Amino acid sequence: DIKTIAMIGCGSMGGGMAQLFAENGYHVALEDPSQDQVQAVLVAAKASNIPSDRFSKHTDYKSLCEALDSPKVFFWSLPHGGVGDKVLEGLLPYLEKGDIIVDCGNEHWENTERRQGKCVTKGIRYVGCGVSGGYQAARRGPSMCPGADDETLALVLPLLRTVAAKDNNSNPATGAVGTGGAGHYCKMIHNGIEHGMMSAISEAYTIMRKGLGMNLDEIGDVFEQWNSKGELQGTFLIWISRDICRTKNMEGKRVLDEVEDKVVQDYTGEEGTGVWSNLEAVERHVPAPTLTVAHYLRIASGDRHQRAQIQKTFGTGTGDPNKDHTAAFPPEELDVDDRGKFLEDLRMAVYTACLAAYCQGMLIIEKADKEHHFNINYVELMQVWRAGCIIQADYISETLLKPIYDNRDLKSESSNPLLHQHVASDLKRGFPSLRKVVASGVEADHVIPALSATLEWIKYMSSTTLPANFYEAQLDYFGNHMYDRKGDDGKGLPTQGKHHVEWKAA
């Protein structure tokens, strides 16, 4: 029965979780290189009336380990990469067989598995646990996505269940997701899905603002309606979008209007989940354009200076990123007869893009699971995403996806969501609205990468008459790539074609 835990890394996430554990009766031994961070946790805990004797402060691993019972349980909230390796090196001399490390950072799953391999030789248990929901959820109850061997998961899940967010039925948003680095793998893809959904919603915002001339109060009301009923009900990102529209600063002005159009993705060190999830999609040959184009928008936006320079070259700006707030192709008002009807199309378009992002993410996870043997329990994974996390979307995860995994005979039936009638019919149902929104948006020069890429994805994933015949002919022309003749495709396996001709005009 675990009563004492250590929290290594007491920033906003670790600090929030430390208070959450203490609030739930655990003694929490705090360790962080910054004493200010540790102090901030104690101050915040006091303000929440958490008894101060539930905490102890430590500046070295020896005293930290002495404060723990056996087995020693460590929660980590650290930046990904080398930091975790250093912390593990530092801890190892004090660790014993049976001790448990729960790594709650956004760590790369291969780092997790490497450390699991190192720890297992010493009988130490290492859990890679994706934690979602941001700093507020870390304090109130996050979504927790753990991966490790079954025995280790059985030991830590009671702790995770205590602190994890609870869904509408009071079930915790955690579960035995899979073995090895499965927890961090799924969290990485969660973040890819997150970015696809965020882009689609941001695109809808700008269509409403610049395309329909709506003010922020009106847009906030639309997001509130979308979140309150129908397919987007219980979608965390739609809910916070309402608040983003309504939040004002001290002078009564909208905070959103002071935010620059720039989302930086650090690439100088180790990139993080946004980059990794897209690399995974490409490397595992899974078309995931909703995720990928959202990421391209992010990285293009990050270099605002370059965009200003390009705009100048296009002859529409001064080249000064601080002065220019325009575009070479400025988005215009949309030609819309019936605003109410168009807003309904926009809602369906956003829903369809969010569903597509989910499907694409699940396709990546499933492929990785097959190739890497994560033994993912998809029902548990859906439960992890039912509360507390950024991609929480009740209708998608509970009504559409969970039944696929609930009823699936693992050996005979594919869990590819697109092969399930009820998911396919929702994508089909959303398609006309998405097409209308994309067509109107394109016509008026709006920036709509996630919406338009989703439209294309639905088209090409559901077609057996792609322009790829011409693509293949070009490859055969210059590369002797070989092509399949119509009807040659056998069992549908992605094998190299069988025919080649010398493509010379007679």
Q: Which of 234, 272, 430, 449 binds ligand 6PG (CB under 6 A)?
A: 272
Query: What is the rounded CA–CA span in Å between residue 123 and residue 86?
Result: 19
Query: What is the rounded CA–CA span in Å between residue 35 and residue 105?
Result: 20
Q: Which of 77, 112, 132, 440 binds ligand 6PG (CB under 6 A)?
A: 132
* Residue whose CB is less far from ligand 6PG, 72 or 386: 386
Contact stretch for ligand 6PG (CB under 6 A) within 129-137, 155-163, 226-234, 377-385: 129-137
- Asked whether position 133 contacts ligand 6PG by CB under 6 A, the answer is yes
Q: Is 280 a catalytic residue?
A: no
23, 113, 194, 380: the catalytic one is: 194
- Among positions 46-75, residues that touch ligand 6PG (CB under 6 A) are none
Q: Is 187 a catalytic residue?
A: yes
* Residue whose CB is less far from ligand 6PG, 77 or 132: 132
Query: What is the rounded CA–CA span in Å between residue 263 and residue 33?
Result: 28
Q: For the chain, what percentages of helix, strand and coil (3-state, to nearest 5) are there?
A: 55, 10, 35
Sheet holding 125-132, edge to edge: 55-58, 27-31, 4-8, 73-76, 100-103, 125-132, 143-147
72, 187, 210, 402: the catalytic one is: 187
Sign of CA dihedral 296, 146, 64, 113: negative
Query: Which string of x and - marks every residue 4-43 that binds ligand 6PG (by CB under 6 A)?
Result: ----------------------------------------
* Residue whose CB is less far from ligand 6PG, 301 or 416: 301
CB of 352 to ligand 6PG, least distance (A): 22
Per DSSP bridges, beta strands 55-58 and 73-76 are: unpaired
Number of residues assigned to the chain: 506
Chain position carrying tokens 């597509």: 356
| H/E stretch holding 471 | helix 468-479
Half-sphere exposure (Cβ direction) of 224: Cα atoms closer than 13 Å: 11
* Residue whose CB is less far from ligand 6PG, 138 or 208: 138
Query: What is the rounded CA–CA span in Å between residue 234 and residue 229?
Result: 8
| H/E stretch holding 29 | strand 27-31
Contact stretch for ligand 6PG (CB under 6 A) within 196-204, 269-277, 409-417, 422-430: 269-277
Q: In 10 A of CB 429, how many CB atoms?
A: 13
CB of 128 to ligand 6PG, least distance (A): 14
Q: In 10 A of CB 369, how many CB atoms?
A: 18
- Asked whether position 153 contacts ligand 6PG by CB under 6 A, the answer is no
User: Would you call 95 helix, strand, or coil by DSSP?
Assistant: coil
Measured in whole angstroms, the distance separating CA 295 from the mean position of its chain's CA atoms is 11
- Among positions 176-195, residues that touch ligand 6PG (CB under 6 A) are 191, 194
Q: Is residue 199 within 8 Å of residue 193, measured between CB atoms?
A: no
- Among positions 68-127, residues that touch ligand 6PG (CB under 6 A) are 106
CB of 176 to ligand 6PG, least distance (A): 20
Contact stretch for ligand 6PG (CB under 6 A) within 36-44, 131-139, 353-361, 423-431: 131-139
Tokens read off for 84: 């975790």
Query: What is the rounded CA–CA span in Å between residue 83 and residue 30?
Result: 17
Query: What is the rounded CA–CA span in Å between residue 364 and residue 283?
Result: 10
Q: Which of 84, 196, 234, 274 binds ligand 6PG (CB under 6 A)?
A: 274
* Residue whose CB is less far from ligand 6PG, 160 or 219: 160
User: Would you call 386 helix, strand, or coil by DSSP?
Assistant: coil
Contact stretch for ligand 6PG (CB under 6 A) within 68-76, 270-278, 310-318, 464-472: 270-278
Query: What is the rounded CA–CA span in Å between residue 154 and residue 151?
Result: 5
* Residue whose CB is less far from ligand 6PG, 55 or 236: 236
CB of 370 to ligand 6PG, least distance (A): 25
Query: Which string of x and - marks every residue 297-336 that binds ligand 6PG (by CB under 6 A)?
Result: ----------------------------------------
Please give the span between the terminal C-alpha atoms of the chain, in angstroms, as a whole number.
82
* Residue whose CB is less far from ligand 6PG, 234 or 274: 274
User: Would you call 264 helix, strand, or coil by DSSP?
Assistant: coil
- Asked whether position 165 contacts ligand 6PG by CB under 6 A, the answer is no
CB of 417 to ligand 6PG, least distance (A): 21
* Residue whose CB is less far from ligand 6PG, 272 or 441: 272
Active site residues: 187, 194
The residues of the shown chain that bind ligand 6PG, judged by CB under 6 A, are: 106, 132-134, 191, 194, 272-274, 389-390
